């Protein structure tokens, strides 16, 4: 019973079909409160699709997703799921490019999101302070008034992470947050992630093994839409099947990355 | 936003001076314009109100409506019905007689009240927009598909109005008005008062739109334009925002329609059809979408050009309009208004690499 209460997200036998093609097949997944979990697997394994299911972007063909043990979010709309406290960062940075950095944070901040509330909303001092702190954390203080579309790739990713944090979700879903980043940017993102994971449950999809090894966290390996292995990084790397499907394909993935 | 205001001070002052100058010019217009020109200007100002509303939904929220002629028309017909009843003095309106009606249709009766007519002129378009928005935005029908649906709305409405001649005056529309509150509509003094009413309505509409786009709501509108799905994953329901903006936009078109009838003295289905609906969008495109001033000026300048031009070369006007549109789309994607902030802001904003597009929040 105690065990159960600490589980914040429970995916039960989730299957997703796209025109007959099963991108995810009977996937089980459990996330504890405050846990940082890595989700890895070769290209096309279904990792992004799994996150899509959790945040409501894709409806599973079968299976269930329970939030906090009792709230069934399988059929809820995206904005309702976001309001419940599940934040999502997409694979490509998606920020609002004609809004300034500050404005991006402003609308992301946790608040009443109804039309009449935003029509009357005033910037309170405590809100401003929160946003300023967030700006400092993601290192974009000097660019607060920049149009977000002009930020560099890495800065956009951080802005998006900052937006998600101001949203104050209980679960953060991050899809390849360091893809396309320089080594320096990757290190900085790693620090950000450490700070974030102290307070929230986080699921990170990542290809970069070096990056994953920086965290002493549980790793879930997916392959062809199924759960292949779950355990510590050492356990996962010692597993023969993982070595076969994942590390064997690693070269392709890396090759793909350099051309991307 | 203090942070932003502090950095925008010089520009704010310029903008305020601009507003003040525009206000003085408009309020003094009766001093330097003939009655005929004043009446024309009044009509253009009414069109500027439509442009403001269109800019809200298209420029700021990214949804192109080619159906605003209908909302404009509904407002216009509401006012026309009131004026027609006043002109008929308790008798059946002339066109109903000709069509063989013997008594006033039930839905005409409440339009004997000025208050009801004005309320209907605002609320009917808003309600129609709400219904259309409900079935489209909620089902995520967007882009071209939405635009095509608004065109369908125009066709359905104009066909209906033409077909129901006994109730709507058919192709001829509703005309032959006499007085408003006992004052002859043709009198110069009445026209002057109506002009002032229009100026005030335009300012009120501008202030309303300015408030909306300057609020956090306005930032959510732009966020939805930039990435509707992203807004959803933050927790906003874009459909509700889109519906509300569409309603406000339609109500503004209705307001403009009411004023239009007072100035022009006629409304017919051809004035709410496809071509006027497209023309309205052109005013905004040419003036500059995403800036309220640009949209309003676009409407005024385009119509001024149209009336000057078509006095001498009526057939060339449409060609000229098309040509101008192409030029603007190719060379000035932000419209005429896009010319100004680029010059001003480049010098001012040291912290920005370039001034491009900042006018979204500036005006
Ligand atoms: N909308 C869709 N329609 C059809 N097929 C899809 C769709 N989305 C994903 N797929 C397919 O489902 C499979 C899983 O895709 P997914 O994006 O979840 O993989 P991934 O593990 O995130 O891969 P990557 O590491 O390349 O991001 C792929 O074969 C993909 O082509
Ligand atoms: Mg993916």
pLDDT digits (tens, 9 = 90+) for A195-205: 888 888 999 99
- Per mean pLDDT, which range of B105-109, B310-314, B348-352 is the poorest? B348-352
CB B362 within 8 A of CB B345: yes
Which of A55, A107, A112 is the best mutation test for B, with the most CBs of B within 10 A? A107
Q: Probe ligand 1: pick from A49, A89, A176, max atoms within 8 Å of CB?
A: A49
Q: Which residues in chain A are contacts of B3 at CB distance < 8 A?
A: 102, 144-145
The verdict on a CB contact (< 8 Å) between A57 and B219 is no
Alpha helix segments (H runs only) across B174-291: 188-214, 216-226, 228-234, 238-264, 274-287
- Give the ligand with the smallest distance to the CA of A175: 2
pTM of the model: 0.86
Taking 90 as the threshold, does the pLDDT of residue A252 lie above it? Answer: no
The verdict on a CB contact (< 8 Å) between A97 and B226 is yes
Please state, in angstroms and rounded to a whole number, the distance separating the CA atoms of residues A187 and A192: 9
Question: For residue B344, what pLDDT is reported?
Answer: 47
Q: Probe ligand 1: pick from A17, A40, A47, max atoms within 8 Å of CB?
A: A47
Instruction: Give residue B93 CA to ligand 2 midpoint distance, Å.
Output: 68
Domains of chain A with bracketed CATH: 1-85+203-255 (3.40.50.300), 86-168 (3.40.50.300)
The verdict on a CB contact (< 8 Å) between A99 and B219 is yes
Instruction: Give residue A146 CA to ligand 1 midpoint distance, Å.
Output: 34
Question: For residue B5, what pLDDT is reported?
Answer: 46
Question: For residue B345, what pLDDT is reported?
Answer: 46
CB B240 within 8 A of CB A118: no
Which of B6, B216, B360 is the best mutation test for A, with the most CBs of A within 10 A? B216
Which of the pair, B357 or B335, is modelled with greater confidence? B335
Per the document, the length of chain B is 363
Which of A51, A58, A76, A79 is the best mutation test for B, with the most CBs of B within 10 A? A79
Phi then psi dihedrals of residue A27, to 5 deg? -80, 130
Cα–chain-centroid distance for residue B248?
A: 10
Please state, in angstroms and rounded to a whole number, the distance separating the CA atoms of residues B72 and B276: 10
Taking 90 as the threshold, does the pLDDT of residue B241 lie above it? Answer: yes
pLDDT digits (tens, 9 = 90+) for B244-276: 999 999 999 999 999 999 999 999 999 999 989
The verdict on a CB contact (< 8 Å) between A99 and B225 is no
Q: Which residues in chain B are contacts of A142 at CB distance < 8 A?
A: 351
Taking 70 as the threshold, does the pLDDT of residue A214 lie above it? Answer: yes
The verdict on a CB contact (< 8 Å) between A113 and B4 is no
Question: For residue B347, what pLDDT is reported?
Answer: 41
Question: For residue B317, what pLDDT is reported?
Answer: 79
The verdict on a CB contact (< 8 Å) between A102 and B233 is no
Taking 90 as the threshold, does the pLDDT of residue A42 lie above it? Answer: no
How many other C-beta atoms lie within 10 A of the C-beta of residue B224? 25
Helix, strand or coil for residue B192?
Answer: helix
Average pLDDT score, chain A: 86
CB B49 within 8 A of CB B284: no
Taking 60 as the threshold, does the pLDDT of residue A249 lie above it? Answer: no
- Give the ligand with the smallest distance to the CA of A49: 1
Cα distances (angstroms) measured from residue B323 to each of B238, B299, B300, B320, B329 = 35, 17, 18, 5, 10
Among chain A residues, the shortest Cα distance to B242 is held by A115
Q: Probe ligand 1: pick from A15, A23, A43, A174, max atoms within 8 Å of CB?
A: A23
Whether ipTM exceeds 0.85: no
Residues with CB under 6 A from ligand 1: A 18, 21, 23, 41, 43-49
Instruction: Give residue A37 CA to ligand 1 midpoint distance, Å.
Output: 20
Question: For residue A14, what pLDDT is reported?
Answer: 92
Please state, in angstroms and rounded to a whole number, the distance separating the CA atoms of residues A85 and A200: 11
Q: Kindly give the number of the ligand 1 atom that is closest to the alpha carbon of A52.
A: 18
CB A232 within 8 A of CB A219: yes
Q: Kindly give the number of the ligand 1 atom that is closest to the alpha carbon of A49.
A: 18
Please state, in angstroms and rounded to a whole number, the distance separating the CA atoms of residues A223 and A239: 13
* Residue B70 pLDDT grade (very low, low, confident, very high; cuts 50, 70, 90): very high
Please state, in angstroms and rounded to a whole number, the distance separating the CA atoms of residues A43 and A260: 13
């Amino acid at each position: 019973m105690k065990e159960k209460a600490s589980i914040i997200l429970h995916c039960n036998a989730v299957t997703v079909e796209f025109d007959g093609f099963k991108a995810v097949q009977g996937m089980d997944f459990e996330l504890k409160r405050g846990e940082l979990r890595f989700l890895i697997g070769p290209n096309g394994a279904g990792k992004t699709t799994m996150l899509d299911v959790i945040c409501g972007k894709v409806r599973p063909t079968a299976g269930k997703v329970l939030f906090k043990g009792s709230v069934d979010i399988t059929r809820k709309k995206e904005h309702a799921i976001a309001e419940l406290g599940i934040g999502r960062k997409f694979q490509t940075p998606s920020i609002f490019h004609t809004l300034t950095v500050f404005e991006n944070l402003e609308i992301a901040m946790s608040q009443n999101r109804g039309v009449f509330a935003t029509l009357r909303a005033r910037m309170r001092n405590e809100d401003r302070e929160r946003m300023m702190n967030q700006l400092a954390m993601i290192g974009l203080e000097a660019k607060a008034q920049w149009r977000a579309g002009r930020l560099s790739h890495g800065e956009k990713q951080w802005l998006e992470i900052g937006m998600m944090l101001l949203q104050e979700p209980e679960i953060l879903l991050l899809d390849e947050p360091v893809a396309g980043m320089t080594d320096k940017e990757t290190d900085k993102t790693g620090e950000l992630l450490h700070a974030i994971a102290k307070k929230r449950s986080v699921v990170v999809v990542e290809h970069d093994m070096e990056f994953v090894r920086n965290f002493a966290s549980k790793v879930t390996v997916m392959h062809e839409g199924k759960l292949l292995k779950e355990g510590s990084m050492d356990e996962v790397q010692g597993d023969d099947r993982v070595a076969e499907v994942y590390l064997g394909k690693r070269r392709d993935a890396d090759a793909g990355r350099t051309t991307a | 936003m203090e942070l932003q205001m502090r950095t925008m001070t010089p520009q704010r002052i310029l903008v305020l001076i601009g507003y003040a100058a525009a206000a003085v010019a408009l309020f003094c217009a009766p001093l330097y314009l003939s009655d005929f020109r004043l009446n024309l200007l009044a009509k253009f100002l009414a069109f500027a109100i439509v442009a403001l509303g269109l800019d809200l939904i298209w420029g700021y929220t990214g949804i192109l409506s080619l159906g605003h002629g209908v909302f404009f028309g509904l407002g216009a017909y509401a006012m026309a019905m009131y004026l027609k009843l006043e002109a008929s003095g308790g008798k059946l309106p002339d066109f109903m007689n000709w069509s063989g009606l013997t008594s006033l249709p039930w839905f005409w009766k409440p339009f004997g009240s000025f208050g009801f007519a004005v309320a209907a002129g605002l609320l009917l378009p808003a309600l129609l927009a709400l219904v259309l928005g409900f079935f489209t935005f909620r089902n995520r029908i967007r882009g071209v598909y939405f635009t095509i649906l608004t065109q369908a709305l125009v066709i359905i409405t104009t066909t209906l109005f033409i077909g129901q001649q006994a109730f709507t005056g058919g192709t001829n529309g509703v005309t032959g008005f006499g007085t408003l509150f006992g004052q002859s509509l043709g009198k110069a003094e009445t026209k002057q008062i109506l002009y002032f009413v229009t100026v005030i309505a335009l300012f009120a509409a501008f202030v309303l739109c300015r408030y909306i786009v300057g609020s956090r709501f306005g930032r959510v509108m732009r966020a939805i334009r930039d990435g509707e799905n992203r807004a959803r994953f933050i927790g906003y329901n874009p459909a509700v925002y889109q519906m509300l903006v569409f309603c406000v936009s339609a109500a503004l078109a209705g307001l403009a329609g009411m004023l239009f009838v007072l100035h022009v003295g006629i409304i017919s289905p051809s004035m709410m059809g496809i071509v006027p609906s497209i023309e309205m969008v052109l005013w905004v495109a040419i003036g500059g979408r995403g800036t309220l001033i640009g949209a309003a000026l676009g409407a005024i300048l385009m119509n001024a050009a149209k009336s000057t031009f078509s006095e001498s070369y009526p057939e060339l006007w449409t060609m000229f309009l098309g040509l101008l549109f192409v030029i603007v789309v190719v060379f000035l994607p932000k419209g005429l208004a896009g010319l100004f902030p680029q010059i001003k802001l480049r010098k001012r904003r040291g912290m920005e690499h370039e001034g491009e597009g900042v006018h979204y929040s500036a005006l």
